[in-house]
Amino acid sequence: MTGQEILTTETDARDYVHGLADQEAQERLGRYTELLLDENQRQNLISKPSETNLWVRHIADSAQLLEHVGAPEDWSHAPGPWLDLGSGPGLPGLVIAILRPQLPVVLVESRGRRVEFLQRCVSELALDHCEVLGDRLERVRPFQAWVISARAFAPLPKLLRLSAPFSTKATRYLLPKGRSAAHELKEAKASTRNMFHVKHSLTDAEAGIIVSK
């Protein structure tokens, strides 16, 4: 991590994310937040209380995963796309796709209305490098993923089992687990504990991200 202090205000979170984005990405993020808040009135994409803390709780919380994948100039050697499991409203995968348009991103989501929302966002934001797969992960044809991310997708053992067909020795797991991160890893079998460690979140002093070593 960068050693940066915890992002607690919407201004700090927006400034942090904008520091990772060019002008076009900043405009797309602004439009995405509008689409997200509007759609949240029709389906439960994010909790209502978190709407007022959107940039801290959701946008910066997603964007911080870029801290763990190295510099963009290294991505040309990536063995595959960024695979986001159970993308829901596009967190974190759609935020990553907006911030890094040179990086192929695949969003997997099985719930129909959320798939429709993701597809609308990809179309309206002109994210040609971002693909939405509307199906359960078990039915997706395997491919080699460079990064696998998941936010509130499944407990760690199940997540690793389901994602195994997409994982190689070079695959980087980035799993925001909130305040359960350390506990989930502690409860995992020894071989799993040896593969991962917990990084502190920039958006919550008590939250963590399970990252592959």
- The values of phi and psi at residue 58, to 5°, are -125, -50
Domain encompassing residue 55? 10-70+77-212
Asked if the structure places residue 121 within a domain, the reply is: yes
Residues 6+ apart with CB under 8 A from 147: 69, 78, 82, 83, 171, 172, 173, 174
pLDDT in tens, 53-73: 999 999 999 999 999 998 776
pTM as predicted: 0.95
Q: Are 91 and 114 in contact (CB under 8 A)?
A: no
Q: Identify the CATH number of the domain in which residue 63 sits.
A: 3.40.50.150
- Based on the structure, what is the number of domains in the chain? 1
State the Cα–Cα distance between residues 82 and 61, nearest whole angstrom.
17
Asked if residue 5 belongs to a domain, the reply is: no
User: Between these two residues, 74 and 134, which has the higher pLDDT value?
Assistant: 134
Percent of the chain having pLDDT more than 90? 92
2 part of a folded domain = no
Is a pLDDT exceeding 60 seen at residue 3? no
* pLDDT tens, position by position, 8-24: 999 999 999 999 999 99
